[in-house]
Amino acid sequence: MAKPTSFAEKAAKLARKTELLVMCPDTNKETRILNVKMIHSYKTDKGNIKFVTKNEKVYESTLKPYKP
């Protein structure tokens, strides 16, 4: 029976697969694009707090959103 893949191996494989080098418009240097999970909170009319999660791509050097 094959050994199951660990979480660290899966994360490393995903990082190698999705590594993208681009020029950052703010610093004019070559930087990687990172995949991050952004969590935004907002208050409803009733006073409850709700959370919205989104996966976004950002520049590694400035952490500003990546727009292709």
pLDDT tens for each residue of 3-61: 787 888 877 777 666 567 888 888 999 998 888 899 999 999 999 999 999 989 899 88
Q: Burial of 24 by CB count in 10 Å (0-12 exposed, 13-18 middle, 19+ buried)? A: middle
For the chain, how many structural domains are there in total? 1
**Residue 46 placed within a domain:** yes
List the domain range (segments joined by +) for residue 18.
Answer: 7-59
**Residue 39 placed within a domain:** yes
Question: What pLDDT was estimated at residue 35?
Answer: 82
Question: What pLDDT was estimated at residue 51?
Answer: 97
Q: List C-alpha distances in Å: 49 to 8, 39, 42, 60.
A: 33, 12, 6, 30
Report the distance separating Cα 19 and Cα 59, nearest Å: 12
**Residue 65 placed within a domain:** no
Question: What pLDDT was estimated at residue 44?
Answer: 95
**Residue 67 placed within a domain:** no
Question: What pLDDT was estimated at residue 18?
Answer: 59
Question: What pLDDT was estimated at residue 19?
Answer: 65
